[in-house]
Structure 1
Amino acid sequence: MRRIRLSGTGAAIEFLLREDLGPKGGRGMVVASANLVGNATPWLDHYPANVPTHLGYPARGAWCLLGRAAEESPQRVACRHLQASWTYAELWRRSQAAATRFTELGVRPGDRVALLLPNMPEYLAAMNGAWLAGATVVAASPLMVPSEVGRLLAATRARVLVTLDVLAGLVPEDESAPETVLAVSMRDRLGNLQRAGYALARLLKFRLGRPSGPTRWLDWDNGLTETTVDPPSGCESGRPALILPTGGTTGVPRSVVLTHGNLVANAWQVYHWSGRRTAEDTLLAVLPFFHSYGLTTCAMAGMAMQATLIMHHRFQVGTVLDLFERYRPTIFPAVPAMLVALNERLRDGRVDGVRSLESCISGGAGLPVDVAEEFSDHSGAVVVEGYGLSEAGPVTHAGPLDGTSRPGTIGLPLPDTLARVVAIDDRSQVLGPNEVGQLLVKGPQVMAGYLDAPRATEEVLADGWLATGDLASCDADGFFTIVDRLKDLVITSGFNVYPAEVEEVLRGFPAVADAAVVGVPDPVSGERVKAILSLSPGAKYVESELQSYLSTRLSRYKRPREIEVAEGDLPRNFLGKVLRRELRDGDA
């Protein structure tokens, strides 16, 4: 075991390294062996040649990734947003200034600082500044309503809130109101016409809507002075770094606590999975930072790569294509809904801008094989599916980026990540190849637990193994496939019905644009299969023809006994995933 210390830019970075010969004979950097031996880890034999099986992780706070980038690539552009462009040196200086500002406002180590921001450079400055001040970041979503923001602030006891000025109406005015609000503006980086509209929105939503309660409102830029701060001493990797709300693996709203070690490990894993290229890539960052997927794959991994982040505060297909053409990104973390929208626009031949793309990892929902293949054809990029959940940092699996990925699978576990498929009713019973059961994962990116919910934590976390709540299978080579959500499994007359399987067949019917399958109570069979359909525009739908179609493609017990046609699209979250729970609740 060797200890290496790199210092500079006020950010000393330590690595704990142990040299180890991996199965390919190459040297890897290991912090702790995960006993990855034998048939329990067949995926190691299928790793790309440039991906080590074990890694060494920076033994510091999560701010160290930015500190490292500022030291090694100070003049490289770190992020672009609208008309703003910051180098890594500038982003580091602004983060240090933010840390000083937080400290002057009374933030102390262990306090919580909430961020209610879209993707913009200030998000990275505020986040790293809070960490440099010793605080824990609370990720709030601009998609929330005021009552949801209030509940999150109350649950986390956040003292300071950083928000966009035009989102001021989301800040609660009751007892959950924060002590201080720092208001960020993007007005100065807009064009003249947009700037006028923004000024009006700011006047209506901020100046006139400023709460009259005890909350102190300050402008983000006023009082920010460039100062050098010493990173917190003794910042153990086990200290909380991020609190973010999630539905939880059981579907109950909770707040996940990720440590500095969790965030650094997952960013480091993604960085190495992407080939360890440093200061070479341009990454299109339109996945929201307030979600763990966007935060890790775009912000944290981007800083680990020392990539240039091309940020935009919302996904608009025309704007995104403009960004492709202007900045020629090489990496694009995405969700399937984004690829579907881009495919539709790229069919008209506007593909030159996306030809710079080299890799695209899609997550957040299942990636249809035809969608991936079409986007790969348009862009020439390697398009793979990944998998994760907020409780695991979130990324645990990804398809290999060397051309050996297997369509329809979520790929292989990342370095130092263990995964197993176990019996639904007995987590101690590990299943064999291609058997379907619950997916468990274990690794340095797995959360510390749920905030103030020890029982809920115990339900999903035991001996370091996280129960994902997803049904999966693993083939003999270690490629995993997600079958469905465990809570979405329908058991009818003792038979297991996986909604995703039925939905895929339903989507093959000409009149059906999309489908969702749920189980509803039935006095005889326990549950019966119900399908909710979204029809293609102008399509002629005849239920008897659909039933005839299904009769040759699904076993009788899998066929929906109840079919409902939705008005418009199915309910979805911001990642485009269909919300089966809402459809189920409608039948409760």
Structure 2
Amino acid sequence: MVSLNDHRMQSNGHSSAEATWIDRLSGLRELGWRTGGPGERRWLERYPEGVPAELAYPQQRLGWLLQQAAERYPSRLACCYYHEQLTYAELLSRAERLAMVFVREGLRPGDRVGILLPNLPETIVALFATWIAGGVVVSLSPLMVAEEVSSLMKATGCRFVVTLDVLSPLVCHGDSAPELVVHTTLAGRLTRLEQLGYAWVRFQKVGFGSVCPQARVLRMEEAIQSVSQGREPNGGGIHDPAFVLPTGGTTGHPKAVTLSHHNLIAQAWQLSHWSRGHHGEETILAVLPFFHSYGLSTSVMMGAALGATLVLHHRFHPVSAVRLIESHRPTMFLAVPAMLSALNTKVLRERKCDLTSLHSVISGGAPLPAAVAEEFEEHSGATIVEGYGLSEASPVTHVGPLDGTAISGTIGFPVPDTDARIVSDSTDETVPTGDVGELLVRGPQVMLGYWDNPEATAEVIRDGWLHTGDLASCDENGFFRIVDRKKDLIITSGFNVYPADVEETLRGCPGVVDIAIVGVPDEERGEVVKAVVVVESEKSFDRRAFEAYARDHMSAHKKPRIVEVREEDLPRNFLGKVLRRELREQHDGMSASEEVPSAD
């Protein structure tokens, strides 16, 4: 096994703090992740036919994943976006040439490259170019505000950023500008009406000036064309960091999951075998955002492993998604429940649509209501199953079997080479079958750790097991069910929202005496963010100013959709901790007329 510490220290001369973090991660990785025997894994007896319990994983870095797809299927469409199409051979060529540009501009092995893009062909090019050049991708979300982007860039030491022209102000905020900005644009590819809107937004964001006056700036297309020959994938260890994404605490000291090359290749192999996809024949509707590990692994990684065509769109919209399904005939759809709900209610109930090309739909990110799944299955005829995961596990650990034996309300079985236990909170001992406890998992897809945060890593990975913080049960047939969240994490439309982060930000709003953030049920989004705001006087509190403050200081998915204003104190326990469960119960008891939605 290549030493992560040796490779990174020799090539980068990292600080002693970073070296300590890497040493800790290496030690965690050396721990075994298999259970003692198959008797502890009752789900294996009911694995779908043709899905092995154990896999042989390529001992390669991620650049190889695209390389092998291009060698096997050079002329097959790798991705399509509006009228643009790239074959696997073309995609590899562009990635290798952009990798050469990165190296020419001074990228060293282990350097971090921020990618701030929606789902575009350029996103896939930038991802693989970074890995081929030996860099580490830092995932910057278009949903972030400038403060969040700046904080994550500083914490990870991003030197280069690849972004969209209209998003460039997010990465060139204050003194946080990177050394190099490579930018692309949607101009010229959208519909005529969309072009007008895009031009107006670009003018408002950038004006007539440079996209980032503080940095060296390159246009991606010109940069790629400036080199005639690409770069072979950079050498290095398979356990080196490859992908860093925030998972909470993005203000102050961000907590960011760090996934290795091996984590992501293992996940690609697990998912491609579980999907029982036909190599070189599948087409995936890729509308889950690539800046999250769910979209990255289920679309980009699994897609490359299968030699699949990715049908891209820069954002999910129900009408656009149906149009793409009818015109491009995808066979697989990776989704969150909010997407399926929106398709049902906003399109499929209104008119008959041809979704018969879909054979598999996997939903994750939030609990999938049975009614939503049943209705979408009626419209499409596809097999719909629910999965489970978390960013710390690349992210998929469980998926329902796609052979028709899945049980509604369960998250199915652990994927190949993945172990799971349900343990008691008090003893960490495995609980009896059917009992509820915390879900623990381990497998080759479990993260290296949190970036530059060995203490937080040691809290969640103990004795080789990743403590998910979710309460679950496992029945006698090996089907797992998520019962509740141990933590107060809110999942809205598949995005994680951490109440403490939102509270910390909104406490800075004038007029706010105290605040608590909770998640409340929502049919379309799974949950929405609710703010319970304590003020001195309800009459003098400026709700519009509060909502404007939220809009300016946090990502759209974090903003409260429901705001309750009160003068009385929040319910707390004897230690002073806010009783969020009591607030959720109070919300459940409110009438619709008492709820005040945000103006957004």
Q: 2:166 and 2:519 mapped to 1: Cα distance?
A: 41
Q: Answer yes or no: is 1:568 the counterpart of 2:597.
A: yes
Q: 1:174 and 1:245 mapped to 2: Cα distance?
A: 21
In structure 2, runs of 5+ residues without a counterpart are: 1-31, 490-517, 533-569
Q: 1:179 and 1:465 mapped to 2: Cα distance?
A: 39
Q: 2:377 and 2:387 mapped to 1: Cα distance?
A: 16
Residues 246 and 390 of structure 1 are in contact (CA less than 8 Å); yes or no, is this contact kept in structure 2?
yes
Q: Which amino acid aligns with 1:316?
A: H
Q: Counterparts in 2 of 1:396-545, with a 5 A limit?
A: 396-427=397-428, 429-488=429-488, 520-522=571-573, 527=579, 529-531=582-584
Partner of residue 257, structure 1 = 258
1:192 Cα deviation after fit:
3.6
Partner of residue 152, structure 2 = 152
Partner of residue 11, structure 1 = none
Deviations 1:538-580 (A, max 9, x none): xxxx96xx8xxxxxxxxxxxxxxxx994323799xxxxxxxxx
SS in 2 for 1:188: coil
Moved more, 369-378 or 408-417: 369-378
Q: Which amino acid aligns with 2:406?
A: S
Q: Answer yes or no: is 1:81 the counterpart of 2:81.
A: yes
Q: 1:326 and 1:125 mapped to 2: Cα distance?
A: 24
Q: Which amino acid aligns with 2:265?
A: V
1:200 Cα deviation after fit:
3.7
Q: Answer yes or no: is 1:91 the counterpart of 2:85.
A: no
Q: 2:100 and 2:529 mapped to 1: Cα distance?
A: 51
Residues 269 and 414 of structure 1 are in contact (CA less than 8 Å); yes or no, is this contact kept in structure 2?
yes
Kindly tell me: are residues 226 and 306 of structure 1, through their superposed partners in 2, closer, same or farther at Cα, counting changes over 3 Å? farther
Q: 2:108 and 2:291 mapped to 1: Cα distance?
A: 23
Q: Which amino acid aligns with 2:433?
A: P
Q: Which amino acid aligns with 1:471?
A: L
Q: 2:50 and 2:164 mapped to 1: Cα distance?
A: 41
Q: 1:504 and 1:383 mapped to 2: Cα distance?
A: 26
Q: Which amino acid aligns with 1:530?
A: L
Q: 2:593 and 2:354 mapped to 1: Cα distance?
A: 41
Q: 1:515 and 1:193 mapped to 2: Cα distance?
A: 32
Kindly tell me: are residues 226 and 309 of structure 1, through their superposed partners in 2, closer, same or farther at Cα, counting changes over 3 Å? farther
Partner of residue 229, structure 1 = 231
Deviations 1:68-103 (A, max 9, x none): 110000110010111211001100000001100101
SS in 2 for 1:432: coil
Kindly tell me: are residues 185 and 271 of structure 1, through their superposed partners in 2, closer, same or farther at Cα, counting changes over 3 Å? same
Kindly tell me: are residues 524 and 193 of structure 1, through their superposed partners in 2, closer, same or farther at Cα, counting changes over 3 Å? closer
Q: Which amino acid aligns with 1:414?
A: V
1:213 Cα deviation after fit:
5.1
Q: 1:456 and 1:33 mapped to 2: Cα distance?
A: 20
Kindly tell me: are residues 109 and 253 of structure 1, through their superposed partners in 2, closer, same or farther at Cα, counting changes over 3 Å? closer
1:482 Cα deviation after fit:
0.5
Partner of residue 308, structure 1 = 309
> Please, what TM-score do these two structures have when normalized by structure 1?
0.79
Q: Counterparts in 2 of 1:91-170, with a 5 A limit?
A: 91-170=91-170
Q: 1:282 and 1:570 mapped to 2: Cα distance?
A: 39
Moved more, 155-164 or 480-489: 480-489
Q: Which amino acid aligns with 1:531?
A: R
Residues 533 and 566 of structure 1 are in contact (CA less than 8 Å); yes or no, is this contact kept in structure 2?
no
Q: 1:368 and 1:46 mapped to 2: Cα distance?
A: 24
SS in 2 for 1:355: coil
Partner of residue 275, structure 1 = 276
Q: Which has the higher contact order (CA 8 A, sep 6+)?
A: 2
SS in 1 for 2:331: coil
Residues 473 and 483 of structure 2 are in contact (CA less than 8 Å); yes or no, is this contact kept in structure 1?
yes
Residues 241 and 261 of structure 2 are in contact (CA less than 8 Å); yes or no, is this contact kept in structure 1?
yes
1:202 Cα deviation after fit:
2.8
Kindly tell me: are residues 33 and 201 of structure 1, through their superposed partners in 2, closer, same or farther at Cα, counting changes over 3 Å? closer
Kindly tell me: are residues 487 and 93 of structure 1, through their superposed partners in 2, closer, same or farther at Cα, counting changes over 3 Å? same
Q: Which amino acid aligns with 1:387?
A: Y
Partner of residue 297, structure 1 = 298
1:208 Cα deviation after fit:
3.6
Residues 377 and 383 of structure 2 are in contact (CA less than 8 Å); yes or no, is this contact kept in structure 1?
yes
Q: 1:40 and 1:244 mapped to 2: Cα distance?
A: 33
Kindly tell me: are residues 516 and 425 of structure 1, through their superposed partners in 2, closer, same or farther at Cα, counting changes over 3 Å? farther
Deviations 1:509-540 (A, max 9, x none): xxx999989994256999563336889xxxxx
Moved more, 413-422 or 320-329: 320-329
Q: 1:54 and 1:401 mapped to 2: Cα distance?
A: 18
* Matched residue count: 497
In structure 1, runs of 5+ residues without a counterpart are: 1-31, 490-502, 536-541, 547-562, 572-588
Partner of residue 498, structure 1 = none
Q: 2:439 and 2:373 mapped to 1: Cα distance?
A: 24
Residues 326 and 353 of structure 1 are in contact (CA less than 8 Å); yes or no, is this contact kept in structure 2?
no
Q: Which amino acid aligns with 1:470?
A: D
Deviations 1:318-350 (A, max 9, x none): 111111111111100000000111111344363
Q: Which amino acid aligns with 1:238?
A: H
Residues 368 and 408 of structure 1 are in contact (CA less than 8 Å); yes or no, is this contact kept in structure 2?
yes
Kindly tell me: are residues 522 and 157 of structure 1, through their superposed partners in 2, closer, same or farther at Cα, counting changes over 3 Å? closer
Deviations 1:111-150 (A, max 9, x none): 0111000000101111100100000000000011111110
Q: 1:98 and 1:525 mapped to 2: Cα distance?
A: 53
Residues 319 and 347 of structure 2 are in contact (CA less than 8 Å); yes or no, is this contact kept in structure 1?
no
Kindly tell me: are residues 520 and 63 of structure 1, through their superposed partners in 2, closer, same or farther at Cα, counting changes over 3 Å? farther
Partner of residue 553, structure 1 = none
Q: 1:407 and 1:436 mapped to 2: Cα distance?
A: 18
Q: Which amino acid aligns with 2:399?
A: A
Q: 1:177 and 1:332 mapped to 2: Cα distance?
A: 37
Alignment RMSD: 3.1
Kindly tell me: are residues 507 and 276 of structure 1, through their superposed partners in 2, closer, same or farther at Cα, counting changes over 3 Å? closer
1:177 Cα deviation after fit:
1.4
Partner of residue 509, structure 2 = none
Partner of residue 10, structure 1 = none
Kindly tell me: are residues 516 and 201 of structure 1, through their superposed partners in 2, closer, same or farther at Cα, counting changes over 3 Å? closer
Kindly tell me: are residues 209 and 531 of structure 1, through their superposed partners in 2, closer, same or farther at Cα, counting changes over 3 Å? farther
Q: Which amino acid aligns with 2:93?
A: R
Q: 2:587 and 2:375 mapped to 1: Cα distance?
A: 23
1:351 Cα deviation after fit:
4.0
Kindly tell me: are residues 515 and 263 of structure 1, through their superposed partners in 2, closer, same or farther at Cα, counting changes over 3 Å? closer
Q: 1:76 and 1:412 mapped to 2: Cα distance?
A: 32
Kindly tell me: are residues 371 and 212 of structure 1, through their superposed partners in 2, closer, same or farther at Cα, counting changes over 3 Å? closer
Residues 168 and 212 of structure 2 are in contact (CA less than 8 Å); yes or no, is this contact kept in structure 1?
no
1:195 Cα deviation after fit:
2.9
Q: Which amino acid aligns with 2:304?
A: M
Q: 2:587 and 2:418 mapped to 1: Cα distance?
A: 38
Residues 173 and 213 of structure 1 are in contact (CA less than 8 Å); yes or no, is this contact kept in structure 2?
no
